[in-house]
Amino acid sequence: MLMRNSEHRKELISEIKSLAQSQGLNTVFTTFLEITANSLAAQTDPENAEKREQRYQEMASTMSPELLSSYARMLALLFLTVHEYRDDPCDILGGIYHELNLNNEWNGQYFTPDDICRFMAQITLPSDELSAKDGPITINEPTCGSGTMVIGAIWAMQRKEFDYRHNTFFVAQDIDIRCVWMAYIQLSLYGIPAMVIHGNTLTMEEWDRWYTPYASVPFSKAQSEDGDIAV
């Protein structure tokens, strides 16, 4: 993974490892993903806020104040890490997942490294021809993993000074709910307009949808230009 080991990122890994001594590494990382995703969605996704809040409260009710505080610190450290990389977006959670060797516990899953995703985005995205005149550009990632391909695409768009936040919409999908949570959390914190689907791309089964806080922005902008509403 292309990533300098920032202090906040190191602190986040340390916090996970510390809690894992009593809770187990896989349990801590998975719980962190679920409680963080539901906490974010409860506050920023009106369509699903009620059920996300309900799930968050269910999880929080089983935790001691000290344990809940540990997960809150993890979220704060993740937020600070994302802020550090806002101009050079990387797959933070995917990198931590590999560094903690969780890929061996999660059925041998491996996520594409940032440098490969950036290279692929540079050679496949027609960035020089991108235009918002016909409405938002939609990009689909059918096996999104931790969201690294989407993050790589955003990195490439930033280098072309393309306003992805107002002119693109990403649809990301994965069969593994933990991947859905990782992608949703990172795309939300990076401010990427996206819908992350928990589903099976091959069978076309779909179980849930997670909308990032910026999901409606490209469409609101398009409607505004037509004289309907403004962002």
- pLDDT reported for residue 231: 29
- pLDDT reported for residue 109: 74
Q: What residue type is 54 in one-letter code?
A: Q
**For the packed helices 65-84 and 7-23, what is the interaxial angle rounded to 10 degrees?**
150
Q: Which residue has the tokens 């974010």?
A: 40
- pLDDT reported for residue 124: 80
Q: Cα–Cα distance between 147 and 82 in angstroms, integer?
A: 14
* Burial classification of residue 169, based on how many CB atoms lie within 10 Å of its CB (0-12 exposed, 13-18 middle, 19 or more buried): buried
* Burial classification of residue 219, based on how many CB atoms lie within 10 Å of its CB (0-12 exposed, 13-18 middle, 19 or more buried): middle
Q: Which of 66, 87, 99, 81 is nearest to 12 (CA)?
A: 81
**For each successive 10 residues of the chain (231 residues), what is the average pLDDT?**
72 96 94 98 94 97 96 97 94 93 72 86 69 74 94 92 90 96 97 96 96 87 45 29
* Burial classification of residue 184, based on how many CB atoms lie within 10 Å of its CB (0-12 exposed, 13-18 middle, 19 or more buried): buried
Q: Which residue has the tokens 């990076």?
A: 190
Q: Cα–Cα distance between 70 and 179 in angstroms, integer?
A: 22
- pLDDT reported for residue 1: 44
